[in-house]
């Protein structure tokens, strides 16, 4: 699998977030993003990574617009997104069942997709029981909105616990660790 990761870097995190949000909404940025994505796909890239937090959701909107314009066969792509920081409200962040379901629905709407191939838990959530996270990830898989789930920056003991919960309950365990 070949993948494309687009990074934005400036000296100040606040400036970076503001610039990215404004840039991702500009037609000039969309043109460049379109050209980069097309070049990556033409070179054999098929994995496109996103997150609800990237530019406060504007990155997912841009990706959705570019994919629609490129008119690529969806079955040829592997598209992921990540959940954890969906907003400032208490229910808009973390990995509660509520946020996994609602956050994914918002991401799919921004991406203009019916499903993502991979859904990552962007960070561990020590306030949500791992069993709740495993069950919620299986719920969105059962709905056909996600094919596989994984984690990012989880500790080894959390990975073991989550896969143990999945095994014990006869559910789908993590497919990928990042």
Alpha helices in the chain (DSSP H): 13-24, 27-42, 58-70, 97-111, 130-142, 156-169
- Between CA 60 and CA 64, with CA 61 as vertex, the angle to 5 degrees is 85
Residue 83 host element (H or E):
strand 78-83
Q: Which residue of the set 8, 54, 115, 177 is catalytic?
A: 54
* 54 is an active site residue: yes
Active site residues: 54
């Amino acid at each position: 699998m070949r993948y494309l990761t687009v990074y934005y870097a400036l000296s100040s995190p606040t400036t970076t977030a503001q610039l990215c949000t404004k840039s991702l909404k500009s037609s000039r940025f969309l043109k460049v993003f379109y050209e980069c994505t097309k070049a990556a796909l033409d070179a054999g890239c098929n994995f496109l990574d996103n997150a609800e937090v990237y530019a406060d959701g504007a990155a997912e909107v841009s990706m959705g617009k570019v994919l629609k314009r490129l008119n690529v066969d969806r079955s040829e792509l592997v598209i992921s997104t990540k959940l954890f920081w969906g907003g400032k409200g208490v229910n808009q962040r973390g990995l509660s069942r509520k946020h996994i379901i609602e956050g994914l629905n918002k991401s799919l709407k921004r991406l203009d997709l019916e499903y993502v191939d991979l859904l990552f838990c962007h960070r561990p959530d020590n306030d949500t029981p791992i069993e709740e996270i495993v069950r919620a990830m299986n719920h969105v898989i059962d709905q056909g909105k996600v094919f596989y789930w994984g984690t990012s920056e989880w500790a080894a003991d959390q990975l073991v616990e989550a896969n143990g919960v999945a095994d014990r309950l006869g559910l789908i365990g993590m497919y990928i660790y990042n």
